[in-house]
Chains A and B, each alone.
Chain A
């Protein structure tokens, strides 16, 4: 792509040239919007983390630290993966991805603080603890869905909220089961769906560039 004409005056363009310029704008804006980031695996990783943490908090040793340890290990793993991913696709930052990244970072800090405080005060695994985690997750998913205008993620968030509400009306075992069901649908199933969508998007982008 070169710029051959003078800057001081624009020669009167014909229709073909104008249409060519309009096509160029459309193509470049679409190119700028394209993303190579993948997030499906992150949902699955966190889903597995919640399942392990819930089971460990129910039956394992050092139960008070189950959630804190699982969250810290998963956070380190996910952060390393994201840094690697960003290095590969470095070069451009969209406003949406920056906004979304900020929302999830703030959520991660809040949930780590909450779980740490719960571990110290020995409130891990109770009804209120699980219900609060459900509401945290529901809120961040619905916020994310609102930014991306993605109804599927809203459903994932609503499932978390439903589990959070249900947990308030049941015992610890019931709350644990509701939490695991919500984890399965909103993290594992949604994560797999997201990976399929990401694969499809990449194939379409590949076709457009071919």
Chain B
């Protein structure tokens, strides 16, 4: 019997998966934009972004624009690969269901 592929636990979290998917077609996105799109709270999103950053899936840039602090996130090559592997693993798990 073939071994079932494992799902990356960092990506499998719903909010982290949503954020990585949002970042996929983008060059970068600000924290406030991600919060608005995911409908999450500052605290929850901040914690999940920290986990993605620690895993090396996103990079963060803190800067000032018109004297206001901005936090911009980018998906890294590692994050892109991880998301692709995650999708491939899900498709394998679903098998004929797709």
Contacts and interface: CB of A to CB of B under 8 A. Distances in A.
Given A7-B51, A31-B37, A91-B32, A2 B25 contact: no
Contact-size category for B:
35 or more
Contacts of A117: none
Interface stretch (A8-16, A42-50, A67-75): A8-16
Interface in A9-38: 9-10, 13, 15, 18-19, 21-22, 24-25, 27-29, 31-33
A94 B27 contact: yes
A204 B6 CA distance: 37
Interface string B34-69: 001111100010001001000000000000000000
Interface in A117-152: none
B37 A93 contact: no
A88 interface: no
Contacts, number: 102
Interface string B8-29: 1110111111110111111111
A90 B28 CA distance: 11
A28 B51 CA distance: 19
Nearest to B32: A91
Given A32-B24, A95-B27, A25 B17 contact: yes
Nearest to B91: A22
A109 interface: no
Contacts of B37: 28, 31-32
A59 interface: no
Nearest to B73: A92
Contacts of B1: none
Contacts of B93: 13, 18
B94 A18 contact: yes
Contact of A29 (B6, B10, B24, B51): B24
Given A2-B44, A13-B93, A95-B26, A29 B21 contact: yes
A15 B94 contact: yes
Contacts of A9: 9
A1 B94 contact: no
Given A18-B90, A22-B87, A7 B13 contact: yes
B90 A21 contact: yes
Nearest to B87: A25
A32 B21 contact: yes
Q: Which 6 A-B pairs have the closest CB atoms?
A: A91-B33, A28-B21, A3-B13, A92-B29, A32-B22, A10-B9
Interface of B: 6-10, 12-19, 21-30, 32-33, 36-40, 44, 48, 51, 83, 87, 90, 93-94, 97
22 contacts: A1-B39, A2-B44, A3-B15, A7-B9, A10-B6, A10-B12, A13-B12, A15-B97, A18-B90, A19-B94, A21-B14, A21-B90, A22-B87, A25-B17, A25-B21, A28-B17, A29-B21, A33-B25, A90-B33, A92-B30, A93-B28, A95-B25
